[in-house]
Structure 1
Amino acid sequence: MGRMSDEPARWTRATVYPDMWVDPADDPRDGASPDGELATLLDFLSGYRMTLRMKCEGLDAEQLARRSVPPSTMSLLGLLRHLAEAERDWFNWISDDDPLPKLYGERDGDFDGAVGEQAAVDAAYADLEREQAATDAALAEHPDLGERLRKDGIAVRELMVHRIEEYARHCGHADLLRECIDGRVGQ
């Protein structure tokens, strides 16, 4: 007789490699690597953004808002909100206009306000898409990776790498959060 536990069993829909999220042949992130530094950076950013979305697929609002382990306020929904906030912050780094206000108010509002309601989930996805598009459009005006922007003189290359790092780090968190929810493991 099996042991009763509140912990989800490890699960994956992969059939060729059971420890992977999806079979390699079905992975939408795979493809030929692009030529050139800017294209490579954009490809990595796109891949990590897609990975984060994949980690959130198929979950309801309550599951997306589920906290990891106390006292952490981290959740998948919180990560979506946090990355929307980060995209706005990066936009502010390169904009010559007055900085846009924080999306979620006070410090940690992105995680603290991640509640298990469908309206909060829909808003988080919309916020993330809008902020990504704004930052992407602003950076598209600066294709020279060595160009330094605004008074702080941040190089476009540094900003791109920082964005990739932020998404990559949080995709690692998303792996663990998702495994706690339903046992699906990352790749």
Structure 2
Amino acid sequence: MVTNPQRRLTLVDAAIEVLARDGARGLTFRAVDAEAGVPKGTASNYFANRDDLLNQAAERIHLRVSVGDADDTETDPRTRLTHFMRLLLHRISDDRTGWLALLELRLEATRRPELRAKLTKTLRENLDANVEGRRQGGLPGDDLTTVLLYYAMTGLLLERLTLPDVLAGVDLDELVADFVRRCLPHE
């Protein structure tokens, strides 16, 4: 296996582009090579097999769409949570390709047990990190609040990135604020 980290990253990002555009069935080493603009056979030198490429694409997508720590000086916890949720919406919307590739990987995981296990672990860790982040950040609500907001955002993002006209005329930032208001108990 070749170990040029930058070339590997370029190939994984190319795989994400192919997944988003052509679906999992269109993901071949040849398609990745063409998307990355590298000589034929390059991807096969970097990945043991297609499953290896799918697994590495799954890992990379989560890094690409991660919000990380929001730089927010807002002191009101509800406002901070709303700001974070809006940041998440825009961050993922800005990487439409990454999110669509993740959807393709989710579908492919229904047919590939190893990929299903990998995605399940990654998404579970992501959900757990969100729960812990809310706890550590002193944000309002409880663990169930975090889960409800997580899945509300997942549904919103699915709609926004696949059938955006369904939400035409809807102020998404205000919708996100409504998610937060309705999920949090009134004080």
Does the TM-score normalized on the shorter chain lie above 0.5?
Answer: no
Instruction: Point out which structure has higher relative CO (alpha carbons under 8 A, 6+ apart).
Output: 1
**Structure (1 or 2) with the greater helix fraction:** 2
The alignment's TM-score, normalised by the length of structure 1, stands at: 0.31
Could you tell me the TM-score, scaled by structure 2's length? 0.31
